[in-house]
Every structure is written in C-alpha cells, then in structure tokens.
A and B are shown apart, each in its own frame.
Chain A
Amino acid sequence: MQRKTIFPQKGLPYLLLAPQLAITAVFFFWPAGQAVWYAFLRQDAFGIRTQFVGFENFADLFADPYYLQAIWTTVFFSVSVTVLSMSVALLLAALADREIRAAGLYRTLLIWPYAIAPAIAAVLWLFLFHPSIGLLGRGLNAMGVAWDYRLNDGQAMLVVILASAWKQVSYNFIFFLAGLQAIPRAVLEAAAIDGARPIRRFWTVVFPLLSPTAFFLLVVNIVYAFFDTFGIIDALTKGGPGKATETLIYRAYLDGRVNLDLGMSAAQSVVLMIMVIGLTIVQFRFIERRVHY
C-alpha cells in the first residue's frame, strides 16, 4: 500500500527540504517563539525596560471578566458566521447546480465577493447600514426602527456577522458547487427511480456525499471567523459599542497595537494558538471519523 522512496545518503533530502524548512522557521517558528517569550515579560512600549514576570500576564488575563466575555463573543460570532455562510452557500450551490439559463453567469457573479478585501467589504456594509449615510440604515430609521448599530449591542453584532458571512459565502459556494458536480449522476438517478423526492434525495444521497467538503469548509470557516474578520470589525464597530463586538483577535490587536501592552497581547496570542491547536485536534480526531470519504 505505502510506497517509500529511500535515499542512499541523508544529505540530499535535507537539502531539498531546506528552503521549505527555512521559510517555516523564519515566518512561523521564529515569530511564534517570540510571542511565547514575550508572553512572560512585562515591558514598556519601547521595550526599554523589560522584566520577566512568569505567568503573571496569563493570571491577569483570566482574572479579567472582559476577557472571558470576549471568549463568549468570539464563540457566538464564529458559530453564527460559519452556520450562516455555509448554509447560504449550500443553498446557492444547490440552486446553481441545476440546468438553468445562464448558470455560468450566476456562478461567476457569486464568486466575486471573495475577491474583496475584508476592510473594503466592511465599508460596503457601512454604506448600507450606517444610520445617517447608509441606504438601509436611513430607510430603517425612516420606517420608525431605531437603527443605530454604533449604539446597540445586538445590531452591531448582526452587522459584523452579516458582513463577515457575506464575504465567506463565495468561497463556500465554489467548494460546494464543485462537490455537487462531483456526485455521480447515476446515484441520483437510481434514487429517483426508487421514488425518492428531491428533498429526500438531497438529505440522504447528496448531503452525505458532500460531507468531506462540508467538513473541510467547517474548519476553514471557523478559522476565518477567528482570525480573518479583524478588518471587518475594525472598519465597522472597532469592537464597540461597549465591548459588544470585541473578539479575541480584536482584543489582542487593541492591547498590542493601541494600548502598547505587548506582554498581555502576546499572552493572548499564546492562548489563541493553544485554542486553534485544540480545535484542530478535536476536529480531525472526532469529527473526521464520522465523515464519509
């Protein structure tokens, strides 16, 4: 089953691996190692006075009720973004997979939002939902809905979830569409001959066959919601109002870049690193087993 290539001497494989290893070391292990080291230090903004404080930064972090709140905000935000973007993408992909006129055009148009940078996506949504300059924001206020996401926790969360999910729908759409097109027609036709209606065919035949794609997208989407939504939150709400949309990654940015407290920010990065490692292990060890490949 497994084929092994055995090199006669050890030098060549290491030489061939060297560029990749060097890149990994310089761009991953070195900064990550620095973050771990900084997490145990307390320094002023310029790094002139540095003091080793052990686990004090971590102790401060978990004694901070706002940090625990940020964890829940992040969980709620990530689950909402993942569920929303994946379900909308699956619906659109199922619709685009049928024999309809100009299917190619729809497919192309649906992919466009993925090419937009998060900050630009946020500005587009700002022009929709801003209470005084946004099209929908003004409309809602004119209809008597007190719409102001800058001063309403729930509305702020809704806007950042919508903007983040919208951007990710395209990506999910491509993968779901490819997954759908890879399903053999014969299987579907056999199910149809057996008398299964379209909805039943979808849940019993299509959906299980899509599960590898769905599993892959689940991982990608959660990682996206955790780490890549910074631009959207920064451009739309800056973590506010209050701390309503302050996710873990935004908090790490605030403490490190705005408040210039590198020790606390590094400690948060380490916590995030551990969470992501844990998440990946859980997903691959427990969820992957139930996925049909």
Chain B
Amino acid sequence: MFRRTFATGAASAAALAALPAAPARAQQRIDINFWYGLGGALGEVVEGQIARFNQSQSRFNVIGAFRGSYVEVMTSAIAAWRAGNPPHIAQVFEVGTATMMGAGPAIRPVHQLFADAGMPLDGSRYLAGVRGYYSDTQGRLVSMPHNSSSAVMWLNLDAFAKAGLSTTDLPKTWAQVRAAAEKLKAANATPVPMTTAWPTWVMFEQMASIHDVPFATLANGFGGLGTELQLTGDFFQKHVNFLLDLQKAGLFRYAGRDSAGDPLFPSGEAAISFNSSAGRARIVREAKFNWASVPLPYHDDVIQAPKNGVIGGASLWPLTARNRSADEYRGMAEFFAFISQAEQDKWWHQQTGYVPITQGGYQAAQAENYYQQNPGADAAIIQLSRAEPTPNSQGFRLGGFVEIRNIIQEELERAFQGQQNAAQALTNANRRGNVVLRNFERANRG
C-alpha cells in the first residue's frame, strides 16, 4: 500500500515537473550564475548590465545574485567551490587577486576561456593600468576587468566658498590640502574638515604608487611569493606622521575601516574626503551641494611629477566545476566579450563612475564630450594614465592582502588613539604583515 502510493506520487510529481519544461525547450537558455558584491546604486547598475546582456542574445541567461560585501562574495564563492557547486562567475575585489591566481584548478583563466570557445581576445583593447593588474607574468589576462576605479579627492565646493577658498584653483599637494583644511576649520564650514574612506588603499597603496615608493619587495609581489613589506620606510613614516598631526590639530577625522568613511562626504559632514571614483553614483544622487573630484594630492618635497595611481575595484573570475559544460564556458566568454564592447563599457563607466576598462569605451565617452559636461569624471582616468607604470606603481599582488589591510588599519587605529607613535605602528604592521605573507608562501608553494 505504502509503496504503491509512493510510486504513484513520484510518477505524478515527475509528470508535473515535465509539463512546463516541454514548451520551454524550444528556446532553452543556458543559465550562467554570477555572484557580485556591489550593493545600492552600483548594484542596480550591475543588474542593468546583466539585463542588457540577456536582451542582446537568446542563448544564455545570466542570473545575477548580490552576495554581500566583496569579502563575503569571495569567501562564499570559495566555500561553494569546495562544496562542488560554485557560481560560473564570481566578482572578486582587487586585493583577492593573488589568492585567486594561486587557485590553479579552481579557475579558468580568461585567455584560456576565450581560446577554448574559439573567440578572439585582444588584450591591448583594455587600458594598460587595468590590464596589468589582472594579467599573469606572460601578460595574458587571467581575470576579466569589470569595475575598476582609482581613489580621488572629493571636495565640497560650497564649504570651500564659505571658508573663502578658491573653487577653481583646487589643492594639488598635501601642503595645500592642509592649508585648506585649516581655513575650513577656522570658518567652521563643515563639522569635519577632512576624512577618508579606505584608509589603507588611499593612504598606503595609492600614496606608495604615486610617490613611486615600494610597498613591498619584488615589485609589490609581482615578482614572486617571497615578497616582504616595506612599510617602515621614510615615506610611510612621513605620511602617517602627517595624518597624526592633522588629527591632533582637529583637521582630520578617522572615520573607520574600509568603506566606513563613505557617508561623511555626501552627507556634507566632511568637506574633503578621499574615496573611490566609483563613489560618484552615490554623490550625484545624495549630495546637496556643489562638489568636485580631482586627482589625489602628493607631497611635493618627495616627488615633483607624481606617478600613476593604482586601480581598485574588482574583476570577474571564471570558476570551474566538475559538471560544467563547454556551452556554459562559452556563455561566460560571451558575457565578458559583451561587457568589453565600447558602447557597453561607456554606458557602465558613465552610470557608475568606474573608469572605462577599454580604450574604446574611453574614446566613445570622449567623442560625446562627456568630460566637458561632467568635469572631474575623468580625474581617475587621468590619474591612472598620467605616467608609465613603474614596478612600484603597477599594482599589488600580495597573498592574504585582506588580512594585511586589516593589520594596517588596526595599527593605525592604535596610533590615532595615541597608544603608539607612527614608527611603532609601522614597525608592528610590517612585522605582522610579513607573517601573513610567509604563511601564504608556505601554503601556496609546492
């Protein structure tokens, strides 16, 4: 009795499941799962990008899923791979690049993905600063550039006017930034004269790059796993002391780790902030004042002609799985090719504030006078391409970089509380960061 009802039940369930599948088979699309970590205004643009791809063809159906922060996307994608059920595409932030490159069989390098699909991939179409960060030592693309930004300085021009500062001749050096912050404080133009988001990315990584100072040996890790941090150098001592001085004078407020400093600028609380160029979408939407975005300031007693800044943001990693078909890999390559089209790239760049990833996208935006109409939208592009990259300014490839960033932030927080001075903070960060690099080297060698 039991067996018979069970069998009938199973049969009818199978029949039910088969019913809707039959008519759909005529245009069965191949699903491509895409996990990303951009929320809010930017997340909506990612969904828009996916919708544009899905409408452009009828073979593949990309399914986007917002999986939380960058860290959460990366850890959940790795956990899913270990469990044998990863997404096809995972968006991984730039600091995870070394970990992903070391992942061998878990990833399908982009150049191989295109070769297997019989599709051409011309690396030279991508902006040099973007391409270099995501290429292997032979110059082949390993992950697909997606959202690349650079850090820029955001200025509240209404506050500048209130403090009697010029709104056209904007600060270029740190000395000028300090002078402006003093005037802003004296005029009480905003509650906080200056703050920053992403303290390590802006104040350590970008600063090392534009001042042509090594962050780590072996070309910041591009040269191999044996790389060691160089945080105790004169430049970092100088710059951390500069920030501590500003904080003591009430000119700078530490607003927290990673993106915690984001809201202070659009809310009008801080007049000067340093943040990703991709903050543009939010600032356009939320800021109720005139603002400008300009390249990051530099110490003119260290360098006269600052080098290029480095990118931040994320790239797309094709993940492998045991039962993944050639068609699915093909769909991943098609999606990558689609977002690299000049028209799509230009759209993405203008909607988000991320830099264009291709030359074509940049030229298309120039052709319609986008930068004349939106002054400052090219600050990040100028900063990324103003000099030929040196070994110190081509980017970072450090294992356990997320942990290293947290270590630097922890030691900075102790310094900002007055528990230690700049030299102690940097010595501690350097020592602890090197332990992370050695652990990564041991786990990834052989």
Contact = CB atoms under 8 A, between A and B. Distances in A.
B254 A259 contact: no
A153 B416 CA distance: 11
Contacts of B400: 259-261
A19 interface: no
A49 B443 contact: yes
A242 B410 contact: yes
B434 interface: no
Given A258-B403, A260-B99, A46 B78 contact: yes
Interface residues of A, number: 26
Interface in B398-440: 400, 402-403, 406, 409-411, 413-414, 416-417, 419, 436, 439
A242 B414 contact: yes
Given A46-B103, A49-B443, A242-B410, A259 B403 contact: yes
B416 A132 contact: no
A43 B403 CA distance: 16
Contact of B410 (A48, A240, A259): A240
Nearest to A50: B443
Interface residues of B, number: 39
A260 B404 CA distance: 12
Contacts of A261: 400, 403, 439, 443
A150 B260 contact: yes
Given A46-B106, A151-B417, A241-B413, A132 B406 contact: no
Contacts of A133: 263
Nearest to A64: B435
B288 interface: no
Nearest to A152: B417
Nearest to B443: A44
Contacts of A238: 257
Contacts of B118: none
B416 A48 contact: no
A132 B264 contact: yes
B442 A240 contact: no
A45 interface: yes
A90 B197 CA distance: 44
Contacts of B413: 151, 240-242
A257 interface: yes
A48 B410 CA distance: 31
A48 B104 contact: yes
A254 B406 CA distance: 10
B75 interface: yes
B186 to A, nearest CB: 20
B170 interface: no
Contact of A259 (B106, B402, B417, B442): B402
A20 to B, nearest CB: 24
A42 interface: yes
B426 to A, nearest CB: 15
A179 B304 CA distance: 75
Given A45-B99, A48-B105, A240-B410, A257 B75 contact: yes
Contacts of A259: 400, 402-403, 436
Contact of A240 (B257, B264, B267, B402): B257
A132 B256 contact: no
B47 to A, nearest CB: 25
A243 interface: yes
A276 to B, nearest CB: 25
Interface string A225-252: 0000000000000101111000000000
Contacts of A198: none
A8 interface: no
Nearest to A48: B104
Contacts of A49: 443-444, 446
A47 interface: yes
Contacts of A153: 417
Contacts of A243: 410
Contacts of B267: 132
B75 A258 contact: yes
Given A240-B410, A258-B71, A258-B406, A151 B78 contact: no
A46 B82 contact: yes
B191 to A, nearest CB: 8
Contacts of A150: 254-256, 260
A240 B104 contact: no
Nearest to B106: A46
A243 B410 CA distance: 7
B256 A43 contact: no
A242 B267 CA distance: 27
Contacts of A51: 443
Contact of B78 (A132, A242, A254, A260): A260
Interface string A253-271: 0100111110000000000
A258 B99 contact: no
A45 B78 contact: yes
Interface of B: 71, 75, 78, 81-82, 99, 102-106, 191, 254-257, 260, 263-264, 267, 269, 400, 402-403, 406, 409-411, 413-414, 416-417, 419, 436, 439, 442-444, 446
29 contacts: A42-B443, A43-B443, A45-B78, A45-B99, A45-B102, A45-B103, A46-B78, A46-B103, A46-B104, A48-B105, A48-B106, A51-B443, A132-B191, A151-B254, A152-B417, A238-B257, A240-B410, A241-B413, A241-B416, A242-B413, A242-B414, A242-B417, A243-B410, A254-B406, A258-B406, A259-B400, A260-B75, A260-B78, A260-B99
Closest 4 CB pairs of A and B: A241-B413, A259-B403, A242-B414, A44-B443
